[in-house]
Structure 1
Amino acid sequence: MTTPLGDIEICIDGKTIKYTAQNMGVMDRLCLDVDGRFCIKVEFVPDGERHTISCIIKSHIPSDKDGVESGEQLALKSFYKGHSKLFDSVFMSG
């Protein structure tokens, strides 16, 4: 998937994997300044071992504004480039 900040790469234990990016449409009336949102789905069958799943924005140059945002039931990392903001939040289903 390509974003204004760079191409998205998903890795499990350091190995690049295929994923599905689903267009979720524009946010609701509470977030009028958002141009769109996507859900990245990763197929993974638990095997009882510890694993690392990472999301990499290829060619992204870190900004001083990049950072972790927190809130009630929120785990979010924000990335910036000019006036563009990309954020990564996590939802685990199981």
Structure 2
Amino acid sequence: MLLTPIGPIKLFVNNDEINFKATKVSLDKRCSDVNGRYLIEYKFSNNSKVQKIRCCLPSIDIEGDIESGERFETIAFYKNSTKLTIGAEASFGLETEYGYDYTGNYLSNGIQCETNSSTKNQIFHFGASWIQPFTEDNDHQTWYGADPTLMGVSKER
């Protein structure tokens, strides 16, 4: 679990909560004002069973805003003066075109990646970033801050 100003981020695999290590990542010029930036990793081993890997805020009671980009899926939550973004390297609906062997979707409280019988063993990377207070001038920084590929990790294709 990763504690954030708007609630704990948890990781679930097929509805079972799993422990994970959240690694604090240093800030760069694209996200210099964020208050928290973390990498969350899940090591997937293909046992020919579908796995639904959810990175989410189970206690959140507000609807998130989808802020996706090319090969980058994100959802942002605004609460009081805080903006929090959860991101994953993926292309929901375009996975074949971009060479991903998994799919996924947005949840009301986070992001879900879904494997299939041909998904290769790999590490799934999620990013989390938040800023307090957010403004019109700085709220884009959580988008960059939550991008795992800007944290020095990338999927091999």
TM over 0.5: yes
What CA distance in whole angstroms lies between the structure 2 residues aligned with 1:43 and 1:73?
20
Cα deviation code 1:12-45 (max 9, x no counterpart): 000111111000022x112233223000111221
Q: Which amino acid aligns with 2:35?
A: D
SS at match of 1:22: strand
Give the match for residue 72 of structure 2: 74
Runs of 5+ consecutive residues of structure 2 not aligned to the other structure: 90-123, 125-154
State the TM-score, normalizing by the size of structure 1: 0.82
Q: Distance in 2 between matches of 1:46 and 1:67?
A: 31
Letter in structure 1 aligned against 2:49:
E
Higher helix share: 2
More strand by share: 1
Question: Aligned partners of 2:83, 2:47: CA distance in 1, in Å?
Answer: 35
Query: CA separation in 1, counterparts of 2:44 and 2:66?
Result: 25
- Once residues 26 and 81 of structure 2 are traced to their aligned partners in structure 1, the CA distance between those partners, rounded to angstroms, is 20
Residue correspondence of structure 1 range 10-89 to structure 2 within 5 A: 10-26=11-27, 28-63=28-63, 66-89=64-87
Q: Which residue is equivalent to 2:133?
A: none
Number of aligned residues: 91
Q: Which runs of 5+ in 1 are unaligned?
A: none
Q: Give 3-state SS (helix, strand or coil) of 2:34's partner.
A: coil
* TM-score, normalising length: structure 2: 0.52
**Structure 1 counterpart of 2:67, which letter?**
E
Shift of 1:55: 1.8
The AA in structure 2 aligned to 1:3 is T
Moved over 6 A (4+): none
